[in-house]
Amino acid sequence: MQVLNQSDSDKQALSNVAKAYITQLEKGDKYTELPTIGLTFTNFVMFPQKQLESQVITNYTFLERHQLVPYPEEMRLVFVELPKFNKKLRQLKGMADKWIYFVKNVGSMKSLPKTLANDKDINQALSIANTTSLTPKELELQEKKLRWLREQKDNLARAEQAEAALEAALEKAETEKQAALEKAEAEKQAVLKKAEAEKQVALEKAEQTAKLQIAKQMLQAHADIAFIGQVTGLKKMEITKLKE
């Protein structure tokens, strides 16, 4: 809140948001997700430019100077100029109007109007605003609580990362197990197929040997070669070779 229109009011607002930005970091923290909004209420008209003369809330972000390309919205400066706000209680719409009305008129209020008192959001905002009236000891206690909450949030994030890593490891182990089972089954089938093929070859070899033995015995008994072929299924050339 700025009451007096000083020449360096704009620099004070920028300094405040910069301090708020850097104080979010604890030692060892990474520069990620540090959005900071500097909200400044002024009891004077800070931006008298014609295009802004009726605009109560002004919102500033970083832009590239020539092409006006926006910089990642990590820091924002928002100004609320109270003299430009002239709404009556019955005209208020939304939380922003109610909050601005309260800030502008709180000095003349004997009690909080029902329109404001029954609003959950503005009561929460008032609770946050009340920290400015805390004693140094109370402020230190609140900072400890906020630090504890950040630590719990970090611990939860680490626990979730550990759980995700464990799930990934289990999934990998299950995949490797399944691959090993499939490989073992493939190797088993290959061994069985090879054994079956070797068995078949052995049977065929034994059958051929038996046929040759029978044919040899029939030749010794002076049986006809054609008859021997009919009995054994051997070819004439195979039978003739037995005579040699």
The answer to whether residue 33 scores a pLDDT higher than 70 is no
Residue 128 or 56, more confident: 56
Is residue 19 domain-shared with residue 59, that is, in the same domain? yes
Residue 105 or 185, more confident: 185
Is residue 168 domain-shared with residue 73, that is, in the same domain? no
Quick one: pLDDT at residue 138? Answer: 65
Quick one: pLDDT at residue 110? Answer: 61
Residue 147 lies in a domain: no
Highest mean pLDDT among 6-10, 19-23, 55-59: 55-59
Structural domain count, the chain? 2
For the chain, helix (H) and strand (E) counts, in that order, are 7, 3
Query: Which residues have a Cβ under 8 Å from the Cβ of 13 and sit 6 or more positions away?
Result: 2, 38, 40, 77, 79
Task: Report helix, strand and coil shares of the chain as percent, to nearest 5.
Answer: 65, 10, 30
Is residue 74 domain-shared with residue 167, that is, in the same domain? no
Quick one: pLDDT at residue 27? Answer: 65
Residue 203 lies in a domain: yes
The answer to whether residue 131 scores a pLDDT higher than 70 is no
Is residue 88 domain-shared with residue 194, that is, in the same domain? no
Residue 2 lies in a domain: no
Mean pLDDT of the 138-166 span: 81
Is residue 39 domain-shared with residue 108, that is, in the same domain? yes
Mean pLDDT of the 103-124 span: 72
Quick one: pLDDT at residue 171? Answer: 92
Instruction: Domain of residue 113: give its range.
Output: 9-132
Is residue 231 within 8 Å of residue 218, measured between CB atoms? yes
Is residue 234 domain-shared with residue 172, that is, in the same domain? yes
Tens digits of residue pLDDT in 168-201: 999 999 999 999 999 999 999 999 999 999 999 9
Is residue 108 domain-shared with residue 203, that is, in the same domain? no
Is residue 126 domain-shared with residue 179, that is, in the same domain? no
Question: DSSP E strands: which ranges in the chain?
Answer: 36-42, 57-60, 75-81
Quick one: pLDDT at residue 5? Answer: 63
pLDDT band at 94 (very low <50, low <70, confident <90, very high): confident
Asked which of 132, 152, 175 is the last residue of a domain, the reply is: 132
Residue 3 lies in a domain: no
Quick one: pLDDT at residue 84? Answer: 92
Is residue 58 within 8 Å of residue 79, measured between CB atoms? yes
* Closest by CA position to 74, among listed 19, 18, 34, 14: 34
CB atoms within 10 A of CB 219: 16
Residue 38: Cβ-neighbour burial (10 angstroms; 0-12, 13-18, 19+) = buried
Residue 204 lies in a domain: yes
Is residue 123 domain-shared with residue 42, that is, in the same domain? yes
Helix (H), strand (E) at residue 99? helix 94-105
Asked which of 109, 132, 155 is the last residue of a domain, the reply is: 132
Is residue 197 within 8 Å of residue 214, measured between CB atoms? no
Is residue 14 domain-shared with residue 118, that is, in the same domain? yes
pLDDT band at 29 (very low <50, low <70, confident <90, very high): low
- Mean per-residue pLDDT over the chain, rounded: 82
- Look at residue 120 and give its three-state secondary structure: helix
Residue 26 lies in a domain: yes
Residue 155 lies in a domain: no
Beta 57-60 vs 36-42: how paired, if at all? unpaired
Residue 141 lies in a domain: no
Is residue 96 domain-shared with residue 40, that is, in the same domain? yes
